[in-house]
Amino acid sequence: MSRIAYVNGRYLPHGEAAVHIEDRGYQFSDGIYEVIALRDGALIDEEPHLVRLERSLGELRIDPPMGRRALAAVLREVARRNRVREGIVYIQVTRGVARRDHAFPAKARPALVVTARRQGPSKPAAATGGVSVISLPDIRWTRCDIKSIALLPNVLAKQQAREAGAFEAWFVDEAGQVTEGSSTNAWIVTDKGELITRDPGNAILNGVTRRTILNLAAERQIRLVERGFTLEEAKAAREAFVTSTTACVMPVLRIDDMPVGDGRVGSLSAALRQAYFDYTADAEEEVEETVEGRV
């Protein structure tokens, strides 16, 4: 079955889907994006993703290409046309097509692209094991809270991680504190059993999965603190993990080739991965109930 992409109001075969060479996303990375997971047909945490998309657009003063309800309908239609029930939908909005000039064009219609692709569902920690991370200086800008498509430092960091045989690279700021991963948020569990992740500010993307995990941890009365932690603290931690829409909760077993804790998946990481797994399964059930309700 051929893939279908949504491009500015049209559903096109993936191979023919294209944007203009003077799209400002292509010229200047002048745009933003979102990735939403699909689990058994349900869009996980759809609302916070769409709220963050609107916030990113607002920070860049790009008009939303359409209202939230219309966009939600497009996401479902792209998933449906591609027959994706387990995977992701990708949304990208740029400032649109205009003659190349750094300042905003007087008139440009924001460009919207939506694609969907299949990706396996998340598995329990016992099945996934864990991953390694390397640390790198954070060379990014000071507005990492915006989900910008300008991802060159992230691309270079992820490539360096891959070449080192690692899953992720953790960025470390000038104060020696971990900000986040190249495409994930970073967490540790201290030897006192406290769950730590950096506070949301301009230095990190406030992950939707991050916020869901904070809620799930709070519900389970896990002691948590939102603060920065140093790389040394992370290396001495009992457990570490990363979170994102696609990685869910992924245990980190090695940092810069040093084992974290006893080098095995920690109990809190495994419990939170399971909690997230159950949370997404609940979202699936809600969709089924809604569908049944309509029949």
Among 208, 214, 222, 260, binds ligand PMP (CB under 6 A): 208
Judge contact between 91 and 7, C-beta under 8 A: no
Nearby residues of 278 by Cβ (< 8 Å), 6 or more positions away: none
Among 3, 42, 63, 27, residue whose Cα is nearest residue 284: 42
* Residues linked to residue 229 through DSSP beta bridges, in sequence order: 178
Query: How many residues touch ligand PMP (CB under 6 A)?
Result: 14
56 binds ligand PMP (CB under 6 A): no
Q: Using CB under 6 A, which of the segments 70-78, 112-120, 241-249, 287-295 binds ligand PMP? A: 241-249
Candidates 107, 123, 147, 158; catalytic one: 147
3-state SS, residue 80:
helix
Nearby residues of 107 by Cβ (< 8 Å), 6 or more positions away: 98
CA angle, 55 as apex, 53 and 59 as ends, to 5°?
120
205 binds ligand PMP (CB under 6 A): yes
Among 180, 216, 248, 260, binds ligand PMP (CB under 6 A): 180
Which amino acid is present at 59?
Answer: E
Site for ligand PMP in 97-156 (CB under 6 A): 154
184 binds ligand PMP (CB under 6 A): yes
Name the residue whose CB lies closest to ligand PMP: 207
- How near is the Cβ of 294 to ligand PMP at its closest, in Å? 29
CA 291 to chain centre: 28
Q: Using CB under 6 A, which of the segments 102-110, 177-185, 187-195, 268-276 binds ligand PMP? A: 177-185
Site for ligand PMP in 26-55 (CB under 6 A): 35
147 given a catalytic annotation: yes
Among 87, 96, 110, 207, binds ligand PMP (CB under 6 A): 207
65 binds ligand PMP (CB under 6 A): no
Among 27, 92, 245, 269, binds ligand PMP (CB under 6 A): 245
- How near is the Cβ of 187 to ligand PMP at its closest, in Å? 11
Helix axes 68-81, 46-60, angle to 10 degrees: 120
Looking at beta carbons only, is 82 or 209 nearer to ligand PMP? 209
Euclidean distance between CA atoms 139 and 148, whole angstroms: 15
Strands annotated E in the chain: 4-7, 10-13, 31-39, 42-43, 87-94, 111-118, 131-137, 168-172, 177-181, 185-189, 195-197, 224-226, 229-230, 239-244, 248-255, 258-259
Interaction site with ligand PMP (CB under 6 A): 35, 154, 180, 183-185, 205, 207-210, 243-245
- List the catalytic residues: 147
